[in-house]
Chains A and B, each alone.
Chain A
Amino acid sequence: MTSLVPLGAFIAISAALFFIGVAGVLVRRNAVVILMCVELMLNAANLAFVAFSRRLGLLDERGSVFVVFVFVVAASEVAVGLAIVLAAYRNRPTVDVDQVHEMKG
């Protein structure tokens, strides 16, 4: 099975998305945006999974199946993450992660 778009293009986009996500996590201070960036990284990985799975075709569908698992984990992660952000926001009216450092040793 062949494809019009070469594998390298998928991987390049996946890598780009991933590093945009990493940069977002490192640079941004808004907790909600950080969570969104994490989502971006997860979906970058999903794209890579799907691309490789497509490439291997009928021989191996495990890549596609794994994407479903990642969805579930991502959904859970967002649920927990947003709950934490909400709790922190109720405690003090900010979502700036640099303002929340009670755990400083």
Chain B
Amino acid sequence: MIDQVWLIPALPLAAAVVNGLFGRRWLHRATGLVASLALGASALLAIAVFVEVLGAHDARRTVTLYEWIGVGDFHARVSALVDPLSALMALVVTGVSFLIHVYSNGYMEHDRGVHRFFTWLPLFVFFMLVLVLADNYVVMFVGWEGVGLCSYLLIGFWFERPEPYIAAKKAFVMNRIGDWGFTVGMILTFLAVGSVTFTEVFEKVGRVDPTLLTVIALAFFLGATGKSAQLPLHSWLPDAMEGPTPVSALIHAATMVTAGVYLVARSTPLFAAAGPALPVVGIVGAITALFAATIALVQFDIKRVMAYSTVSQLGYMFLALGVGAPIAAIFHLATHAFFKALLFLGSGSVIHATEEQDMRRMGGLRRKLPVTYWTMLLAGGALAAIPPLAGFWSKDEIVGAAFTNGYPILWGIGVATGVLTAFYVTRAMYLTFHGEPRDRHIYEHAHESPPVMTVPLALLAAGAVLSGVVLGFPPEGGFVHRSLEPVLSVERPEQHAEPNYVLIAGLAATSVAAGLAGIAVGLAMYARRRPDPAAVARAAGPIYTLLLNKYFVDELYDHRIVDLGKAAFGAAWAFDIHIIDGLVNRLGWLTALVGSGARRIQTGLVGNYALSIVAGLVVLIAVYGGYATGLLRR
């Protein structure tokens, strides 16, 4: 089965091609069926490959399709690296994508551009699988750019309105900054090691100058911050919510944004050897987690809360990578894919039912949308890390790893973020589903979504409940750990001989207490109104304003960087108009001037011409005669 691994990305690509060619004219809504079937088959293949990889004696296989670039010593082969990490990623990507494709059949049913939607969505999955399965940085970069392109196309899906295409442009530009980092890292890697293939790079990584290695690692990390929306390149992700909700769920929560995490996790040997790079990753992740969680506290758009929550959770994953726990990062990536996709699809179901995104105009919807409510409640519990839901196992492991690996400050940030996370998810759930309906009209017209949407919700809910236990129990010795150990083991001086269960239990209890505290505060504020949220907002005053405006980061970028860029481009424009064009215009003007003088010679009188010919003749004879007679000498 592993030799046929190329079929996993090929099927979504085929669906994209078919829908792209025939969707507009013939297939229309049937494009959804084509895409869903392809994704379903792809997911089954991914399961088969995953099972086979786990059973295989040799955990790492390279399946080469053909050589793409071969110049001198430089080789980039289109080949797949199949190991537990890529197999797990492929499984998560195809599994979640399949459910979201099915859901989209219902969500996008009435949209005019449905064929476009089902062209870009499988194309995105194709590129994501290329990214995940690539065995070298160059092919990975193809996938990396491809998912960025599809993200751009899908954020701007409703391009008739101005906000989506502005958001799409913003996402693309900010991703370009990260892509630049990836390119620099890739080039430096080739110059330092002489190869871009993962296995070869990681073998030779010890021989590279540590300073250069740090630069390489930080360049790759810059790429990761762009794709995974970490500080300071985070602000595109919340704006990306202008796209259709299934897109938000698939691309901007479950899969594409985890590409940065995957890149760093895949490059674990490189980062581990790069000294100061890993702590940078951890610190950026922790700060982002806290930063985004505080913004999520006060947002009123249900999708924006989820968007900042995603940024925050991605921060957790980088925190895990930074403290030397890549397995925990991948574990959290997997569980997060389930519960965050579910939260987004649930939000989509609410939006589908109410045609409203502002939580201030919702309330009491649990009676109208029971399936959505219960599934989202499970996902919210998973996000708040309530045991035994999925988020608990993975997040607790990350926070615990921060403590046991000697980063108590990052642990503190992780716990604090846990409190905030539990609070904002409680707030969002309460505002949406509980209390009295605040807008009668919306409440009366709300209706539960069709089964094509609710069944994927239920399946994802199963994932949100079970994936933590299935993958990660017992802690640090679960299924995910055993399977990823050969790929992601970080050489540490004190190999943990015996897990300290007292410490683990204590850390877990702290995490749970943090989550429950957040929920308790949230319920107190929104259910009992003691203290009243409005009063708290007034008391917080400028802090509340700061959070509501997302720390004014967009304004800062607009005023400092975008304006600077516009000034620079204005100067370049002026240079082009006045200097470059000016030079050409002056030359033309000079030619015209000379011509207007010289045209007087052209009298039109034959006599004048004849006279000038004779004059020339006389001169010639004079000169020739001068030489001939010796009066002139050469």
Interface residues as binary, B586-617 with A (CB distance below 8 Å gives 1, 0 otherwise): 00000000000011111111110011001000
Which chain A residue has the least Cβ–Cβ distance from B602?
A105
Q: Could you tell me the distance between the alpha carbons of A25 and B613 in the complex, rounded to whole angstroms?
A: 11
Q: B interface, by DSSP: helix, strand, loop or mixed?
A: helix
B604 in complex: contacting residue of A22, A29, A34, A105, CB < 8 Å? A105
Distance from B325 Cβ to chain A, minimum over Cβ atoms (Å): 86
Q: Does A104 interact with chain B (Cβ within 8 Å)?
A: yes
A103 at the interface (CB under 8 A from B): yes
When the two chains form their complex, are residues A97 and B600 in contact, meaning their CB atoms are under 8 A apart? no
- Asked if B605 contacts A98 (CB within 8 A), the reply is yes
A26 at the interface (CB under 8 A from B): yes
Shortest distance from the beta carbon of A92 to any chain B beta carbon, whole Å: 14
A104 touches B602 (CB 8 A): yes
Q: How far is the CA of A100 from the CA of B607 in the complex (A)?
A: 11
Q: How far is the CA of A31 from the CA of B610 in the complex (A)?
A: 12
Instruction: Find the A residue at minimum CB distance from B610.
Output: A25
Contact A26 B602 (CB under 8 A): no
Task: Chain A residues near B601: list those with CB within 8 A.
Answer: 105
**CB <8 Å contact, A101 and B607:** no
Least CB distance, A1 to chain B, in whole angstroms: 26
On chain B, the residues within 8 Å of A102 by CB distance are 604
Size of chain A's interface in residues, with CB distance under 8 A?
Answer: 14
Residue pair B606, A34 in contact (C-beta under 8 Å): yes
Q: What chain B residues lie within 8 Å of A29 (beta carbons)?
A: 607
Tell me the bound Cα distance from A90 to B598 in angstroms. 31
Chain B positions within 8 Å of A25 at CB level? 610, 614
- CB-nearest residue of chain A relative to B600? A105
Contacts of A101 in B (CB 8 A): 603-605
Q: 8 Å CB contacts to B: which residues of A1-33?
A: 22, 25-26, 29, 31
Query: Closest A-chain residue to B613, C-beta based?
Result: A25
Expressed in whole angstroms, the Cα–Cα distance for A97 and B606 within the complex equals 6
Select B602's contact among A22, A34, A100, A103, beta carbons within 8 Å.
A103
A25 to B598, CA, bound (A): 25
Given A104-B602, A105-B602, A97 contacting B614 (CB threshold 8 A): no
Q: Are B607 and A98 in contact (CB under 8 A)?
A: yes
Instruction: Say whether A22 contacts B614, CB under 8 Å.
Output: yes
CB-based contact B604/A26 at 8 Å: no
Docked CA distance A22–B612 (Å):
12
A87 → chain B closest CB, angstroms: 15
Q: Which of B598, B606, B607 has the most CB of A within 10 A?
A: B606
Q: Which chain B positions have C-beta within 8 A of A31? A: 606
- Residues 259-308 (chain B) with a chain A CB within 8 angstroms: none
Cβ–Cβ contact B603 & A104, under 8 A: yes
Neighbouring A residues of B604 by C-beta, 8 Å: 100-105
In the assembled complex, the Cα of A22 lies from the Cα of B617 at a distance in Å of: 11
- Cβ contact within 8 Å between B607 and A26: yes
Chain B residue with the shortest CB-CB distance to A29: B607
For A22, what are the chain B residues with a Cβ–Cβ distance below 8 Å? 614
Task: Tell me the complex Cα distance, A26–B610, Å.
Answer: 6
Chain B residues closer than 8 Å to A100, beta-carbon distance: 604, 606
- Which A residues are in CB contact (< 8 Å) with B602? 103-105
- Complex CA–CA separation, A28 to B602 (angstroms): 20
Q: Are B614 and A26 in contact (CB under 8 A)?
A: yes
Query: Which chain B residue shows the least CB distance to A97?
Result: B606
* A34 partner residues in chain B, CB cutoff 8 A: 606, 610
CB distance from B600 to the nearest CB of A (A): 7
Give the Cβ gap from B616 to chain A, nearest Cβ, in Å. Answer: 12
List residues of chain A with CB within 8 A of the CB of B599. 105
A-side contacts of B607, CB under 8 Å: 26, 29, 97-98
Q: How far is the CA of A98 from the CA of B610 in the complex (A)?
A: 12
Among B306-321, those with CB < 8 Å from A are none
With A and B bound together, what is the CA distance between A67 and B605 in angstroms? 31
- Shortest B592–chain A CB gap in Å is 13
Q: Which residues of B contact A104 (CB under 8 A)?
A: 602-605
Q: Which residues of A contact B611 (CB under 8 A)?
A: 26
Nearest residue (CB) in A for B617 is: A22
Interfacial chain B residues near A103, Cβ < 8 Å: 602, 604
Residues of A contacting B614 with CB < 8 Å? 22, 25-26
Residue of B nearest to A101 (CB): B604
Q: List 23 A-B contacts (CB under 8 A).
A: A22-B614, A25-B610, A25-B614, A26-B610, A29-B607, A34-B610, A97-B605, A97-B606, A100-B604, A101-B603, A101-B604, A101-B605, A102-B604, A103-B602, A104-B602, A104-B603, A104-B604, A104-B605, A105-B598, A105-B600, A105-B602, A105-B603, A105-B604
19 additional contacts (CB under 8 A) given A26-B614, A101-B604:
A22-B614, A25-B614, A26-B611, A31-B606, A34-B610, A97-B606, A98-B605, A98-B606, A98-B607, A100-B606, A101-B603, A103-B602, A104-B603, A104-B604, A105-B598, A105-B600, A105-B601, A105-B602, A105-B604
